[in-house]
Amino acid sequence: MTRLVGISGSLRRGSFNTALLHAATGLVPEGTVLEAHTIHGIPLYDADVEREQGTPEAVLRLKHAILAADGLLMVTPEYNNSMPGVFKNAVDWLSSPTPGVPDVFRDRPVAMIGASPGGFGTILSQNAWLTVLRTLATRPWLDGRLLVSHARAAFDEAGALKDTKVEEQLRKFLEGFSAFAAANR
């Protein structure tokens, strides 16, 4: 069984990226499980708070979920032609050492997808993440790319994926990433 953890980098209730992550949970290949997570509850990173109060519980839960998985799927919005600050903040917390908890990123298979109401999907956000992923010594899967543009047309009002072309692209993406994560555990 291949276990993947997916994190939506959006806090918005009607987030296209959270909807994309939820769609992905039902499209993984047989023998793969994708567990969906959010960054809700993660405070702004502050080393003084970390030193005085320790790692916040929301960060610890996410760290342990990532450690239990074979791969990490980052579902990233794009804000101002780059990665969202709230998602980068969560990754900053996750990358900060916690006594007794191994590094969650080193050698971890990671893939990115994203949805945007604009015409270019999340290409600039995904590109911006590459430097961070390299710095964290992850194993990014770069054989596939999923950029959902014009996301309002891809999802219905309840947040379900209705675009069959995007659904098939997502299914193929997940097949490739699942195989990569299984081969690199």
* pLDDT tens column, 41-67: 999 999 999 999 999 999 999 999 999
**Is the separation of the CB atoms in 70 and 110 below 8 Å?**
no
By C-alpha distance, which of 88, 41, 36, 43 is closest to 66?
Answer: 36
- For residue 63, the tally of other CB atoms under 10 A from its CB is 20
Per-residue pLDDT, 154: 98
Label residue 34 by pLDDT band (50, 70, 90): very high
Residue 36 has pLDDT above 90, yes or no: yes
Per-residue pLDDT, 144: 86
As a whole number of angstroms, the distance between CA 179 and CA 151 comes to: 27
By C-alpha distance, which of 90, 81, 22 is closest to 60?
Answer: 90
pTM: 0.97
**Domain spans of the chain?**
8-183
Token look-up 């699942």 returns 178
By C-alpha distance, which of 147, 89, 142 is closest to 121?
Answer: 147
Burial zone of 46 (CB within 10 Å; 0-12 exposed, 13-18 middle, 19+ buried) = exposed
Write down the mean pLDDT value for the chain.
Answer: 97
The CATH class for the domain spanning 8-183 reads: alpha beta
By C-alpha distance, which of 105, 101, 114, 113 is closest to 134?
Answer: 105
**Is the separation of the CB atoms in 99 and 68 below 8 Å?**
no
* pLDDT tens column, 55-111: 999 999 999 999 999 999 999 999 999 999 999 999 999 999 999 999 999 999 999
pLDDT more than 90, % of the chain: 99
As a whole number of angstroms, the distance between CA 101 and CA 63 comes to: 8
Structure token digits, residue 116? 């945007």
Per-residue pLDDT, 185: 82
